[in-house]
């Protein structure tokens, strides 16, 4: 597989996440059409955001990753850029993440990430493309990357319970899970080794 000019999970102009109406019942959120609702649910019963539009427009590197493609890369542990399988060495798989405010090694253990992993070659390309990595980034290896939940729009229950929000992290064991429309799969990175820190790109 040749390395693509535009990374796989990068959204394009015209390919938008649809503000699709949902119904909220005591059992959770659902799309109005039963076929559409069934197609957009994963094996955990989580409802996912819908996308529509052309995939041939200009890459939007500053936007959130394409929900369906981000989910595919995360669930199958494929490189977010070229979709090649993860390559492991004795330290584990490779991730590239924006720097935290206090970038010390201990802070990178148990980090919760919605950014999928990258292959060796793409770790050199990606920091030049994505604005979130321009201010500095860290290259990591981790032996474990446990799926822990999703990030998305949380809807309040009909009873009024719950704290709704457009950017909520909901864990798989949370009672809020049926009430979220997910946009990103999230993994917790464990047994982490810091490979290198990179300064801001001028």
Q: Which two tokens stand for residue 29?
A: 């959120």
Q: Per-residue pLDDT for 195 more than 60?
A: yes
- Is 25 buried (19+), middle (13-18) or exposed (0-12) by CB count in 10 A? exposed
Q: Per-residue pLDDT for 199 more than 90?
A: no
Give pLDDT tens digits for 9-68. 888 876 666 667 889 999 999 988 776 766 688 888 899 988 766 666 788 888 888 888
Tokens 């955001």 belong to 49
Confidence of residue 71 (pLDDT cuts 50, 70, 90): very high
Q: Per-residue pLDDT for 186 more than 80?
A: yes
pTM summary value: 0.87
CA–CA separation, 140 vs 142, rounded Å? Answer: 7
Q: For the beta carbon of residue 85, count every other beta carbon within 10 angstroms.
A: 12
Q: CA-based Rg of the chain, rounded to a whole angstrom?
A: 18
Amino acid 1: pLDDT: 44
Average pLDDT over all residues of the chain? 84
Amino acid 123: pLDDT: 85
Give pLDDT tens digits for 104-142. 555 788 999 999 999 888 888 888 888 888 888 999 999
Q: Per-residue pLDDT for 4 more than 80?
A: no
Q: Find the helix or strand (DSSP H, E) in which 195 lies.
A: strand 180-198
């Amino acid at each position: 597989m040749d390395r693509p000019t535009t990374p796989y999970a990068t959204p394009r102009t015209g390919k938008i996440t649809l503000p699709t109406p949902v119904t909220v019942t005591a059992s959770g959120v659902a799309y109005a059409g039963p076929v559409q609702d069934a197609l957009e649910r994963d094996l955990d019963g989580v409802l996912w955001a819908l996308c529509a539009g052309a995939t041939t427009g200009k890459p939007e590197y500053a936007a959130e990753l394409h929900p369906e493609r981000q989910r595919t890369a995360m669930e199958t542990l494929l490189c977010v850029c070229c979709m090649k399988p993860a390559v492991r060495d004795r330290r584990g798989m490779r991730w590239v993440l924006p720097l935290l405010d206090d970038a010390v090694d201990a802070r990178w253990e148990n980090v919760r990430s919605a950014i999928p992993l990258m292959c060796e070659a793409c770790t050199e390309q990606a920091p030049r493309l994505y604005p979130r990595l321009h201010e500095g980034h860290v290259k990591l290896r981790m032996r474990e990357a446990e799926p822990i939940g999703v990030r998305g729009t949380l809807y309040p229950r009909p009873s009024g319970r719950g704290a709704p929000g457009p950017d909520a992290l909901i864990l798989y064991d949370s009672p809020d899970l049926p009430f979220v429309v997910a946009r990103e799969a999230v993994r917790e990175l464990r047994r982490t080794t810091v490979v290198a820190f990179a300064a801001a790109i001028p």
